Structure 1
Amino acid sequence: MRIWKIVLVMMFFNTLLYADLNRLVSLNMKNADVKDVFNALSLISNTNIVVGKGVEGKISVFLDNVTLMDAVKSVTSNADLTYRVESNIVYITKLDNLGQSTITSDNVESYFFKPKYIRLDQFEGIISNFLSSTGGKMVIDNSTGTIIITDTKANLKYLKDLIAKIDQPSQQIMIEAKIVRTTKSAGKDLGIQWGVNVNDRTSKNFPYSVQVGAGADPNRNYIVNLPISDVAKAGIGAGVGITLGNFNNTFVLNAKLNALETKGEAKIVHSPKILTMNNQKAKLESGEEIRFRETKTSTTTTIQEVDIQKDEAKTVLDITPQILNDGNILLNLSVELSEFDWTKSVDNIPAKNKNKAETQVILKDGETLIIGGLKKENLFKNEASVPLLSKIPLLGALFRNKSAGEELNELLIFVTPKIMGGKQN
């Protein structure tokens, strides 16, 4: 039991060291004693730094928001010093008094390993910061996926512990999306809660309305924090606002969508799914493509050439999920919506409305984010008549009925992230 306690304590301090060496520091000292510089770095980073005998001299340091490891490298290289990392301590020594930090045949070892879960380039970026500055080397064999580290026995022991900690499987997240075309009142029938929390860095709550493109209010061509009622009162044209909401019961949501689809008040256009790793981007696309003829007249002849051109209107979601320590999911979300507008067509080629927004939202595992605001007006004409009677001269009009109007519908996008295999430890 005592041995396990010692091992846990050592692992704890090694983890702290890894965090401290990558902590960002800023320091401004002019013509200062090099010992005072390392003392200041130790204090502001809460890291153990031991300065060896004979380390002396003056140096000016102007560091702004760099990692502690980069700061140590910069100071030692400019003051003719060297450093090494052992356990939870950074040792600073003179170049002509390397002592234990020198790699010799007596204290050198090589370690071969193949990462199981992390890419080779990711390992290279991390491990290179912890090699001994006096000869520690790392070689990557891309053909076999092997990493070879040569370093002092003491530092190599620390590196093995570090590798074991970072070479861990990343959790996976299933992202389900539904792209739904609904009538004007369907959002109310679904019981959507418009307004979800964003991360603490913005200190704001949704709904957000993003004003872009044709028909936007010229005084609000940026992200604003408007209640839903104010968005409606703003007099903004169709296909302009993007609003966010949430729904915390996916089962009930699916049931309501199916009910609305049965009544003809909603249509599920597309329902893609994608599995991605924690902190890795996933991309979902859905759309339609049209083809049209383009006639060109040659400048040298009078012959007209006809080309078939393509255009595409689509919904594009770029989603990067991050599992937080409390089990919630932070979504870095980019939404791009475009639709053809046949009411503004020229030569039977429709105009295209575009919207784009980027944001961050925090959801519970399995909670659904709703993206709305892409509205569209459809003009319709209906004609009903009684067979035979409607064709009687003069009297036939009594047996015919014509109606015309406009119908407002909206495109809603439902995004549901689910952590696969349970919550992160």
Structure 2
Amino acid sequence: MSANKVFRRISRSRATTALGLGVWLLSSAFPACASNVLQQVTHSPGVNGAVDITLQFAHPVGDAQVFTTDGPPRIAIDLPDTQNALPGHKVLVGDGAASTVSAAQANGRTRVMVDLFRQAPYQSRIVGNRLILTVADSGAKVKGPVMANSMDPSRRVAGALNVSNVDFRRGQDGSGRIVLKFSGDGAAADMRVEGSRVMIDVSNAMIPANLSKHLDVSDFATPVKSIDAREQAGGTRLVIDTSGAFGASAYQMGNEYVVEVNPKKLDAGGAVADSGRIQVGAPKKYSGKPATFNFQDVPVRTVLQLIAEESGLNVVAADTVTGNVTLRLINVPWDQALDVVLRAKGLDKRQDGGVIWVAPQKELADYEQSLADARIAIEQREPTVTEYMPINYGSAEDIAKLLTDGAKSNQSSGGSNNQTQRGFLSDRGSVSFDKRSNTLLLTDLPRKVEEIKKLVSVLDRPVDQVLIEARIVIANEDFARELGARLGISGFNDGSKTLTTWGDTLDNTLGTQHSVTSTDLSNANAIAATNLANATAQAAYNAAVASAIAGGQSAATVPVPVTQTPTLTVPSISHGLNVNLPVTGAVGSLAFSILRGGHALDLELTALQTEGRGEVISNPRVITSNQKQADIKQGDEIGYVTISGGGAGGAGGTTANVQFKDVVLELKVTPTITHDNRVYMDLDITKDELKGFINVPNFGNVPQITKRQVTTAALVDSGQTVVVGGVYEFAKRDDLSKVPFLGDLPGLGFLFRNKNHQATKAELLVFVTPKILEVKQRN
């Protein structure tokens, strides 16, 4: 800002004294400028603990403006065109809620300040040359302060308004914003909180029938559940129903009255913790002490003075800060109130410590631009310096490229000064590098050299390393049980007229039948021959006995012939299995055969049960630098033959080619260390296993490989173990082979069936543990 600019300091400290001195100077220098004179201030007790404060004037009171503040609690009355003629600076009241009354004059305007012990409702009225302010006791049951924007009641009645729109919006911080728009300025709105409801009464604005309705806004996820707008006692009432912990504030600008209902969070002890206020349209938070302001056509400089008193900061306003402002702020942080006033009047602020400078936006921008132009002009004449910076851990070439990448240009409004920056260098700077010694060669302004040295000290640091350890666990569990049986029944029945044979197949029954018929014929011939021989021997014996007796000998002398017995054969039975359902590879069996009376029974019972458990743990680990890929693998290369060329079947000049397939355990990872000492990893983990070979006729064997692989990315704390992948498989199979109907017989059905039960479980788990290995920088 140019030197001939004059600023006025508006500060909380000694504000009353300064204004009092100004009153005395102005009243002595310009006695005829004021059209009215404040002559006397008196007070008297009122009803129910209230106090009446009477301001006595020389002439009837024309107009006055009243507003209040919460910290400290005060009632302020602005009297335009009025001279202060009170003999002292303060009038001690000490009654009810009122403490003292003071007055100060400046620029032909007198302000009367009523200091309160505590916030209290009030009313005001004008009676001729007197303005009577009635301050009620704070214990009175009044929901909110009764404020008069104008001391002329007729003026307020004539300015009756209409509500033109009721709008609800959701703020960025989850707050609910209710916007009341009126047909003109000057709406007298009053907000109060009653439990979970926020009540808004507008005494001088009517609401049309089409806007008197119930709005359900619970779907917007704010503390506001619903809004009821209706006519109330010649004015308008809004009832806002809420849910949960909330805070309500309101402000009024022009013809809009805005109510914000903000959500509040509960801390660990269950107390309400303010979530912070966020201005609509920008993520700005306000932390100032809440205050209430009611301004009706009040000078902006007066408003800035009140905000300075609330904040405890010094406010400096430029001479170009002029005009009046009308707005109403209820329970709003003072810093938000300042922003509202500045936006309303096209102003801006800059803060330096405990001083806030307020000026029009363009004036501030021009001032800052002039400072920038002056700085650029000085830099154009400043000598350059050269610095040699050895690089320890990085690449001088990469850092030099980083310093020169990009370009920025600053040019003044008049175009007289121009500065071009190449990356981090000024337009007069240059940088090169020596690759052999890994050194930066820098030439630039001293300020830029210092900035780049700080930047290089940040960049040229040892890179931490990361130890990545993976564990691949493969667990298998198998169970199988099989029961089987072999059963054969065969035989024959040789009846007098019918020969019956049975067995498993027709061939066996025919074989048995042939054996029986052949045996029957052979046995019949043997019996006939034996009978004939026995008969012949008996006849010879009988003749010998007769001859002996005739010769006078005894019959006993004749030897008795031996009776012959025929040799009979037994027919053979062709054995077969009616039921053949054995267990393959059985380790236990029981068999027996029964042959009796032309019947043969063969039975064999087999059983097998297998159980298997296996576990494979692979543990690859690797160390790598931050953001550098590492790859470690172990395994075999499996060779196999492929045939190329020739015709079908491998004929016609074929060529055999040997190729290899990797069967490996591999860990491939790229870690990135975050600023909060966690590790972000891009992972690729593979665990292959050779299952066997598939024979392809005329083309050799092809390997069959079981592949297990996980490719993922994960963010893990240093030293923490996480499961980045896993596969669980469970297979269950029951097979049953049986003879229909016979296999279902109770008790004996197991002789006619084979039962196989199999259960397989397989689980794959992949664990990863990163650990940051800090590399300390050497001095």
Report which of the two has the higher share of strand.
2
Does TM-score exceed 0.5, indicating one fold?
no
Name the TM-score, length of structure 1 as normaliser: 0.44
Report which of the two has the higher share of helix.
1
- Greater radius of gyration (CA): 2
Name the TM-score, length of structure 2 as normaliser: 0.26
With a CA cutoff of 8 Å and minimum separation of 6, indicate the structure with the bigger relative contact order: 1
